[in-house]
Each structure stands twice: as C-alpha cells, then as structure tokens.
Structure 1
Amino acid sequence: MHEVQAKSILSARNGINVYRGCTHGCIYCDSRSTCYQMDHAFEDVAVKVNAAELLEDALRRKRHPCMVGTGSMCDPYLPLEAETRLTRRCLEAIYRQGCGVSVLTKSDLILRDLELLKAINGQARTVVCTTLTTLDEDLCRVLEPNVCTTRRRFEMLRTMRESGIHTGVWLCPILPFINDTEENLRGLLGYCFDAGVEVIVNFGMGVTLRDGDRQYFYRQLDRHFPGMRERYIRTFGDAYQCPSPREKKLAAILREECGKRGVICQPEAAMAYLAAFETPQEACQMSLFT
C-alpha cells in the first residue's frame, strides 16, 4: 500500500472510493481494466488518506442530504481497513452530515462497524450489499481467493438484516462454463432469500472482459481451469460481453423467483433503489400509502 492525497472524493453521482486497487485477488475483476488508467500495480493499494475530510466538506456543501455509495470500483473493506479505519472515518462523516449510505463489500470486516451503520440507518437509510458468485466454497476460494467465502458473506447479510439494515446482493459474474448452472443460481438465490435481501443486482448472466482484465483472467484460467482459455477464445473471441449459453434460462429463473418474493431484480430499478435517499419518517409515510 501507499498513501496519496486525493484532490476530490465525491463523484457527481455521490459515489466514493477511499482506496484504489485491491488485494482480494478475484480472477474476473473489471477494475483491473486498462481503461481506468491506474498508474501503479493493482495490488499496491493507494490509500486516500484525506478521504474523510474531503467527504465531510463535500457533504456539508450540499443543499440536501444524499445517499453516498461506495464499493463499486474498490472494496471499502480491504484487509488494510482494519488498520487505516479510513472507511469508518468516512461513515462517521456521513453520519454527522445526516446522509445515508450504500456499501458493497465482500468482506465481513464490515461487521466491525455494525453499530455505526445502525446509527446512520436511524437517521437516513443504510443498505449493505455483497457479491455472490458461487455456492461451491472450494470454487469460491479459486475465484475470490483472498476474501471470506460465500457462506460467511451470507451470514454477514443475515446479521445486517436482523439489525434492521437493508440488504442486497450483486449476483455477478456468472462465468460461462464455470458457475453458470441452474443448481448454482438456485443455491445463491436461496442464500439471498434466507438473508432477507430486498434487491438483487444482475446485469446479465455472463461476464465482461476488456483489456487488462482479460489478460489477467486468462492467466488464472490457465492456472486453475486448463483448456478453459481456449474455450473462451473460440466462443467469444475479443468480445466485451461474454454471455452464458444458458443466459435466457438463468435470467428467467431469476425473474420468476424474485417475482414470487417481491425482491427487486430489474437492473434500472435495482440501481434506483440503492441510490434513493430516505429518512425513517419518509419511509413510514410511504408505508401508509402502500
């Protein structure tokens, strides 16, 4: 890791990334793509040491409180967060400014901040999401080697829900020929429903690959799945979108099962849900009319 002084932290859509780079080692990570113009090794994480101060100043300047999102590019709960506590300091700033927060993480380290998240949820809205890819714990350790497994992430979500915090799942990627089975999908959905998630984010049953990401992914396929790289090249060439041959069937299962339980899964509706700012009073008022 190395420290940097950031010039700004809050995006136009109220997103933040307090770290740049990652040590989770997920073999499919889009954030490795060269289009993001990272000027250092991906695993040499840049720590934006002034992130909390920049965030508090930016939120203070807003005319109205908002929903702050984090985790879409780099996980806010990397192992180094245990020492830097940078994400926690940002959450404290969010709380002081009366804003809400939507967090995406693959780490159970977020449980350290449960009481703070509950406090934010008491004045605005808190949504905690995790990524789920495979029901198979051994496969999970291959696809996402340096992070807690699927079962532990499920347990984290359940704890959040039992604490009154809204929860969701990013169901991606569904890797063609690797985890794109009906059994895997139904198993992951079982975890989602048992954890009481309100939203599932899925942009398609497949994976996206572009320069930087593709090369790393293929090296890992050679390491863990001999012959799979050649199958991808034959099937997809240099395409950005690599859909599963089972895409239509899997997508239909997702829609059907979520529809039965009232779980949001349409991409636009899911993203709108995560970005929507709401106070407990507003939520109570809305419930009177639904």
Structure 2
Amino acid sequence: MHFVKAKAILSSRNGMNLYRGCTHGCIYCDSRSKCYQMDHEFTDICVKENAISLLEEALKKKRRKCMIATGSMSDPYMSLEKELEYTRKALMVIEKYGFGVTLITKSNLVLRDIDILKRINSKAKAVVQMTLTTADDNLCKIIEPNVCPTSLRVEALKKLNLEGISTVVWLSPILPFINDTKSNILRVIEMCHEANVKGIICFGMGLTLREGNREYYYKKLDKHFPALKEQYIKRYKDSYNVPSPNEKALLELFHERCDAYGMMHNNDDIFKYLEEYEEKESQLTLF
C-alpha cells in the first residue's frame, strides 16, 4: 500500500472511498477497468491519509444532514482495514456529527464496528449492504478468493439484523455458465430471507466486461474454468454487457421469490431508501 493526500473526500452525492484499489481478488471486478485511470497496481492500495480530517471538515460545513455512503469502488473492509481502521474512524466522525451511513462490503469485518453502527442507527440510519454471488462456499473461494465466504457473510447479516441494523444485498454479478443456475439464485434469496434482509438489488443476470477487467477475468477463466473463455468470446465477443443465456427465466424467478418473501426488489425503491436520511425521535428530543 501507499499513502497520498486527497484534495476532497465526498462526492457531489455524498459518497466516499477511503481507499483506492482492492485486495479481495474477485475475478470479475469492474474496478480494474482502465476507464477509471488508476495509476498504480490494483492491489497496491492507495490510502487517502488525510481522509478522516477531510471528512470532518466536510460534515462540519453541511447545512443539512444526509446519508454518507462508502464502498462503491473499494471495499471499506479490506484486510488492511484491520490495521489502519480508517473506516472505523470515519464512522466515528459520521456519528459525531449526526449523519446517517450506508456501506457496501463483502467482509464480515464489518461486525467489528457494530458498536458504532448501532450508535449511528440510534440517532439516524445505518444500513449495511452486502454482496452475495453464490451460495456455494467452494465456488466463492474461487471467484472471490481473498475475502470471507458466503456463509460467513450471511452470518454477519443475521447478526446485524439482531442488532437492529437494516441490510441490503447485491445479487451481483451472475457469471454465465458459472453461477447462473436456478438452484443458486433460489438458495441465495432463501439465505437473504433467513437473514431478514430488507431488499435485494439486482441489475440483471450477468456481468459487465470492459478493457482492463475483461483481460483479468479471462485469465482467471483459463485457470479455473478451462475452455470457458472460448465460449465467452464466441458468444459475447467484445460486448460490455454479458448476460446469462438464462437471464429472462432467472429474473422472473428472482422477482417472484422476492415477492413471496416480502423483500424489496425494485432497484429504484431500494436506492431511494438508501438515500433517505432519517432522524430518530431520540435525537430530536435532545433539542
């Protein structure tokens, strides 16, 4: 890893990334794409050393409370977070100024910070978003090798729910000829139901490939799924969107099953929920 001084930390939509790059090693990661113009090796994590002070200054200046989001490009709970604790420090700043938070991760390390998340949630709103791709831990270790398997993520979702923290799952990506099966989709949705997940975000049954992440993905296909790369090239050529041949049936199954379990599955509704700041009555009584 290496350290840089950032000029700003919050985007116009109140999103932030404390780190740049990732060590999870997911074979499909879009953040590897050249369009993001990363000027260092993807696994040589760029740490924004002044991120916490920048965040504090930004929140001090805000006239209205809102949700602060993190994890869109780099997982806030990579292994180096155990040592650096930038995410924990950022959560403490968010709590200090009474903002809400939502974060996206694949790691059960989020449970380390459940104390702060609960305090944020008592005043505003804290939502943890967890990515799930496969119900099979063995397959998970192949396609997402350096992060905890699905079973541990689901256990984390259950523990968060028990502490009153809402959760949302990203069912993404679904890799053609790998995890695009009816049994996998059904089991992942069942796991979400068992964990009392509020909603599941799904943009389709497939993945996206572009320069940078396509080459890395194909290299991993050659290693773990021999001959599958040729099938991809023949079917998809250089397409950005790479849908499963079973997409229509799987999407119908997805929406049907989510309805049956009473889970949100309209992306617009879920994003609206994630963006809505909620000030709890217990905080209002302080003033």
Bin for the TM-score computed over the shorter chain: over 0.9
Q: Distance in 2 between matches of 1:213 and 1:266?
A: 28
Q: Distance in 1 between matches of 2:199 and 2:261?
A: 11
Amino acid across the alignment from 1:211: E
SS in 2 for 1:44: coil
Q: Distance in 1 between matches of 2:269 and 2:232?
A: 31
Q: Distance in 1 between matches of 2:174 and 2:136?
A: 13
Which residue of structure 1 aligns with residue 187 of structure 2?
A: 187
Query: Could you list the per-position Cα deviations for residues 243-287 of structure 1 after superposition, in whole angstroms to 9, with x for gaps in the alignment?
Result: 1111111111111111123311112222222111112239xxxxx
Q: Distance in 1 between matches of 2:32 and 2:40?
A: 11
Q: What are the within-5 Å matches in structure 2 for residues 87-98 of structure 1?
A: 87-98=87-98
Amino acid across the alignment from 1:118: K
Amino acid across the alignment from 2:130: T
Which residue of structure 2 aligns with residue 52 of structure 1?
A: 52
Q: Distance in 2 between matches of 1:254 and 1:12?
A: 33
Which residue of structure 2 aligns with residue 235 of structure 1?
A: 235
1:11 matched to 2:11 = yes
SS in 2 for 1:12: coil
Identity %: 52
Is the Cα–Cα contact under 8 Å of residues 140 and 149 in structure 1 kept in the other structure? yes
SS in 1 for 2:3: strand
Query: Could you list the per-position Cα deviations for residues 10-57 of structure 1 after superposition, in whole angstroms to 9, with x for gaps in the alignment?
Result: 001110100000000000000000000000000000011111111111
Paired residues, number? 282
Query: Could you list the per-position Cα deviations for residues 163-212 of structure 1 after superposition, in whole angstroms to 9, with x for gaps in the alignment?
Result: 00001100000001100000000010011000000011111110000110
Which residue of structure 2 aligns with residue 30 of structure 1?
A: 30
1:101 matched to 2:101 = yes
Q: Distance in 2 between matches of 1:140 and 1:54?
A: 36
SS in 1 for 2:264: coil
State which drifts further: 93-102 or 255-264.
255-264
Q: TM (normalized to structure 1)?
A: 0.96
1:129 matched to 2:129 = yes
Which residue of structure 1 aligns with residue 269 of structure 2?
A: 269
1:70 matched to 2:70 = yes
Q: What are the within-5 Å matches in structure 2 for residues 182-221 of structure 1?
A: 182-221=182-221
Query: Could you list the per-position Cα deviations for residues 225-249 of structure 1 after superposition, in whole angstroms to 9, with x for gaps in the alignment?
Result: 0001100011111000011111111
Q: TM (normalized to structure 2)?
A: 0.97
Amino acid across the alignment from 1:91: L
Which residue of structure 2 aligns with residue 287 of structure 1?
A: none
Which residue of structure 1 aligns with residue 116 of structure 2?
A: 116
Amino acid across the alignment from 1:170: W
SS in 1 for 2:277: coil
SS in 2 for 1:264: coil
Which residue of structure 2 aligns with residue 177 of structure 1?
A: 177
Amino acid across the alignment from 1:53: S
Q: Distance in 2 between matches of 1:280 and 1:184?
A: 38
Is the Cα–Cα contact under 8 Å of residues 129 and 157 in structure 1 kept in the other structure? no
State which drifts further: 181-190 or 254-263.
254-263
SS in 1 for 2:200: strand
Gaps of 5+ in 1: 283-290
Is the Cα–Cα contact under 8 Å of residues 17 and 70 in structure 1 kept in the other structure? yes
Which residue of structure 1 aligns with residue 285 of structure 2?
A: none
Q: Distance in 2 between matches of 1:176 and 1:240?
A: 14
- RMSD value over aligned CA atoms? 1.0
SS in 2 for 1:101: strand
State which drifts further: 263-272 or 206-215.
263-272
